[in-house]
Amino acid sequence: METLRQDIRYALRNLGKTPGFAAVAIVTLALGIGASTAIFSVIDNIMLQPFPYPDAPRFMSVQIHDTERNEPGGRAGFSGPEFLDYLEQNRVFDRVIANDNLDVLYRAGEGTLRFNANYVTPGTFEFLGMPALLGRVMQPADYEPGAPPVFVLRYKTWVKSFGADPAIINKTFILNDQPRTLVGIMPPRFAWGDAEMWIPKKPERATATTAVAGAFPQYWFLLGHLKPGISMKEAEADLTVVANRLAKVYPKDYPKHFTVHLESLTNLVVGQFKTTLFIVLAAVGLLLLIGCGNVANLLLARATTREKEFAIRAALGANRGRLLRQLLVESLILAMGGAAVGTLLAWGGLKSLVALMPQNIIPAEAVIQLNTRVWLFTLGVGVLTALIFGLVPALQAVRKDVNEPLRDSGKGISGGFRHGRLRDALVVLEVGLSLTLLVAAGLLMRSFVALRDVRLGLRPDHVLVARLPLPVERYKTAAQVAGFYRPLLQRLKALPGVMEATETSTLPPYGGIPSDIEIPGKSHSEKWDAMFQLCSEGYFPVLKIQFAAGRPFTEAEVNGARKLAVVNQTFVRKYLENDNPIGQQIRIAQLEQFEDPVKEAARADSTGNLGTLHSDGLGVPRNPGAHGKRTDDHVERRGKGDLGHRPERGSDVDGNAGRLHRPVFLRGTAFCVFPDDYFWGHRIGAGDHRRLQRTGLHDHAKNARNWNSLRSGA
């Protein structure tokens, strides 16, 4: 140990004599180690340990996969009776829970707060294994009929909206026009379903398979905990048997040919981003290797000037092992210095890195920070880099004849020729790694340019979006909902700077409701399906969607009794075999799940053929799509989308947008207005979209300019 301390002191003195060399080596290593540390921190916190729930790796989502579709995933939503059947009939899960989202509106003073809430089934908090920070979680009695309505609040919401006031526990709040008592505050990392509050609800077998006018049938996201010793393949086989039995009970919910697919919770949330993270980690790994090559070259050059020093130390009794250890200690000190500076760089750059990432791929529970695992990773990388760049130069320095430098009057000139081949090899290695990194960067840039140049089929610039959830207790019928939206649209259109306003059920290119479809007179053996959405006459002008044939709806048609639809070119090519779509009838099966008179809208006449408009993302082929007109019969309010999405287009939405909140609150309705947090720009122009916060339309003015950059950021 004393010898090691001597080596460390000697190495520090030596490096202190050449501070320029030490600084260059440390900074070179710090860049590579810092980048590696930052990326590993993201991987560790997002992919390896994203959830605080005990045993989260065994949480499995159940998906019904249609084998006739060449797409991954499948249906993950289940009706109440269907959920209860899986709960009772499966033999592979020891616990099963489900949740469903809803909008909750809370009147606060003169304004209204909107919260994203989750209905949760009995046993949810026990399943997740986290107790309340304050108060309690749901108890079985809270799910019984006639029980006092209660809810549990998220920690982040408690701090942001209620000032972290512990006195609000056991207070009653009016949520969606119904009094509910707050019984608990969850810990900071508890964010199940990315909800802001949780409300108890028990699925019932008496739940109807059809929905009341104005709302989609309720479907639950099912999650099971695998029993010990059960593999995913065994579980899928068992659940497939259960699903085949249930397909006979609920034939409309199952395709003709299907399998049951299990997806881990982690893979479900971040699986699509996994490849990207590992590509970036490989890139920074190459950067670190290039840095190691540079430092190794510097050490070789330095060793050439130190040949007489080594010879004198050998003549005084130092063996080659002692010299090798001395050189490795110097390399380790440089590496640890690089690791220390690199950690500071990673700490400083981590927030910027997270800000550049699309927020939808980061689990709400994840906290991206430099934790103990990351520190150990950095330490390991430091030791490894010391071996990579220090071992070969050290071996080269101690393997020569110790007497030769003493006879050589050129002070290392002859040694320089001996090190030449090794330095040349290192240069070749560095060039090769640099070319590999350059080619990989070029391919990624090519993919980025290709995504930027994707034909969107619409123009997103100068478009603002608000989501307007309405309290179900006050707006129970479709006529009441339509009676609210119609005058609101007229008021919005009358505002200065607003060219057009419209309503729609979902937003492209990730918006759309899947449904089986039929075309009278067209026979087919396989299942036909398409993505559909409901909109009013202003939807196509607002987004500047071009028509290949036909025309959009008129205001008179939207308010009339005739059912109309517009389809995209993929629909025409795949299902109509490029026939003229104008006047063709389309039956949308999903709408038949509603009670009369809504299901009458299931059959519609086509009036137009859209251009290349995406309906299911930019990274997949365009799916067949249909746009049905919004009618008094149907306003979608919950579940897979709602007519709260309201785009407005203006030539200069600068100061006038700030007035949009006034006509809303004059109506005295219990809801709030805010930019939608799932507008399709979230995935295209991720950096710009995140700046739109849920602050109300009065903040649109200062944020409106961000929408203009969506097109250039695509």
Q: What is the pLDDT of residues 259-270, one digit of tens each?
A: 999 999 888 887
Q: Is the pLDDT of residue 373 over 80?
A: yes
In a domain? residue 264: no
DSSP labels, 154-204: -HHHHHHHHTT-GGGTT-EEEETTEEEEEEEE--TT--GGG-SEEEE----
Alpha helices in 212-319 (DSSP H): 232-249, 265-305, 307-315
Q: Which residue has the tokens 């990432």?
A: 357
Tell me, what's the pLDDT at 412? 46
Q: Are 152 and 167 in contact (CB under 8 A)?
A: no
Average pLDDT on 313-330 reads 76
Structure-model confidence comparison of residues 258 and 433, the more confident one: 258
477 and 331 co-located in one domain:
no
Which range, of 311-320, 638-647, 686-695, averages the lowest pLDDT?
686-695
Are residues 140 and 118 located together in one domain of the fold? yes
What's the rounded Cα separation, in Å, for the pair 237 and 260? 8
Closest CA to 481 of 397, 7, 473, 80: 473
Give 384-387's long-range contacts (Cβ < 8 A, gap of 24+).
Answer: 385/29, 385/32, 385/33, 385/288, 385/291, 385/292, 385/335, 385/338, 386/328, 386/331, 386/332, 386/334, 386/335, 386/336, 387/328, 387/331
Question: How many Å is the Cα radius of gyration of the chain?
Answer: 32
**Predicted local distance difference test score (pLDDT) of residue 500:** 84
Are 612 and 656 in a shared domain?
yes
pLDDT, averaged across the chain: 75
Helix residue ranges, H only, 90-129: 124-128
Q: What are phi and psi of 260, to 5 degrees?
A: -95, 130
Examine residue 158 and state whether it is found in any structural domain, yes or no: yes
Q: Are 549 and 648 in a shared domain?
A: yes
- Per-position DSSP letters for 628-659, written without gaps between them: EEPBTTB---SSS--TTBEEEE-S--SSGGGG
pLDDT at 54 over 50: yes
On the question of pLDDT at 184 being above 60, the answer is yes
Q: Is the pLDDT of residue 385 over 50?
A: yes
* Length of the chain, in residues: 714
Taking residues 375-391, what's their average pLDDT?
85
Average pLDDT over residues 41-58: 89
Indicate the number of domains in the chain: 3
Looking at the fold, whether 349 and 413 belong to one and the same domain comes out as yes
Q: Is residue 343 part of a domain?
A: yes
Q: Read off the amino acid at residue 399.
A: R
Q: Tell whether the model's pLDDT for residue 155 goes beyond 90.
A: yes
Helix axes 307-315, 265-305, angle to 10 degrees: 80
Q: What gap in Å lies between CA 189 and CA 366, rounded to an integer?
A: 7
Instruction: Find out whether 567 and 626 touch, Cβ atoms under 8 Å.
Output: yes
Is the predicted pLDDT of residue 322 greater than 80, yes or no? no
- Please state which of the ranges 520-534, 601-615, 662-676, 700-714 shows the lowest mean pLDDT: 700-714
Is the link from the previous residue into 509 a cis peptide, with omega within 30 of 0?
yes
pLDDT at 423 over 70: no
Query: Given a cut of 80, is residue 22 above it in pLDDT?
Result: yes
Among residues 506, 558, 569, 562, the alpha carbon closest in space to that of 532 is found at: 506
Band of residue 630 on the pLDDT scale cut at 50, 70, 90 = low
Q: Is residue 458 part of a domain?
A: no
Task: Report if residue 36 sits inside a domain.
Answer: yes
Instruction: Give the mean pLDDT of 295-305.
Output: 78
Residue 204 has pLDDT above 60, yes or no: yes
pLDDT at residue 61 tops 80: yes
DSSP conformation letters of 479-530:
HHHHHHHHHHHHHHHHSTT--EE--BSS-SSS--EEEEEE-TT---SSPPEE
User: What domain range is 579 assigned to?
Assistant: 463-713
Confidence category of residue 618, pLDDT binned at 50, 70, 90? very low
pLDDT at 406: 55
Same domain for 649 and 684, yes or no, is yes
120's CB contacts (< 8 A; 6+ apart) are 97, 98, 99, 138, 192, 198, 199, 200, 201
Burial class (CB in 10 A: 0-12, 13-18, 19+), 448: exposed
Whether residue 262 is contained in a domain is answered as no
226 forms beta bridges with 93
| In a shared domain, residues 446 and 477 | no
The pLDDT assigned to 198 comes to: 97
Which residue among 428, 451, 474 closes a domain? Answer: 451
Give yes or no for residue 679 having a pLDDT over 80.
no
Task: Tell me: pLDDT of 600 over 50.
Answer: no
Among residues 451, 472, 507, the one where a domain terminates is 451
SS3 73: coil
Neighbours of 593 (CB within 10 A): 18
* 621-653 as b/e: b if 16+ CB within 10 A: ebbbbbbbbbbbbbbbbbbbbbbbbbbbbbeeb
pLDDT band at 144 (very low <50, low <70, confident <90, very high): very high
Percentage of the residues of the chain whose pLDDT score is greater than 90: 23
525/665 same-domain check: yes
Based on the domain organization, do 376 and 446 belong to the same domain? yes
Tens of pLDDT, residue by residue over 641-678, are 333 344 444 333 333 333 333 333 333 333 333 333 33
Distance CA 325, CA 341 (A): 24
Asked whether residue 335 carries a pLDDT value surpassing 60, the answer given is yes
Is 626 in a helix, a strand, or coil?
strand
What DSSP string runs through 421-465? HHHHHHHHHHHHHHHHHHHHHHHHHHHHHHHHT---SS--TTEEE
Per-residue pLDDT at 494: 86
**Does 239 reside within a domain?**
yes
pLDDT at position 562: 74
Q: What is the pLDDT of residue 445?
A: 77
Distance of CA 414 to the CA centre of its chain: 60
pLDDT in tens, 112-141: 788 999 999 999 999 999 999 999 999 999
Band of pLDDT at residue 689, cut at 50, 70 and 90: very low
Q: Which of residues 396, 430, 451 is at a domain's end?
A: 451
Residue with tokens 């006092």: 148
Question: Is the model more confident about 110 or about 81?
Answer: 81
Q: Residue 613: its pLDDT value, please?
A: 52
Mean pLDDT of 526-551: 82
Q: What pLDDT, on a 0 to 100 scale, did the predictor assign at position 546?
A: 81
Mean predicted confidence (pLDDT) in 560-587: 82
Backbone angles phi, psi at 268, to 5 degrees: -65, -35
pLDDT of residue 682: 34
Does the pLDDT value for residue 87 go beyond 90?
yes
Confidence band (pLDDT; 50, 70, 90) for 599?
A: very low
CB 378 within 8 A of CB 335: no
Whether 443 and 468 map to the same domain: the answer is: no
Q: Pick the more confident residue, 42 or 658.
A: 42
Q: Are 438 and 335 in contact (CB under 8 A)?
A: no
More confident residue, 157 or 310: 157
Looking at the domain assignment, is residue 63 inside a domain?
no
180 and 293 inside one domain: no
pLDDT for 67 equals 85
- The percent of residues above 70 in pLDDT, for the chain, comes to 74
Does 695 or 244 have the greater pLDDT score? Answer: 244
pTM metric for this prediction: 0.73
Asked if residue 212 and residue 116 are part of one domain, the reply reads yes
Assess contact for 293 and 425: CB atoms under 8 A. no
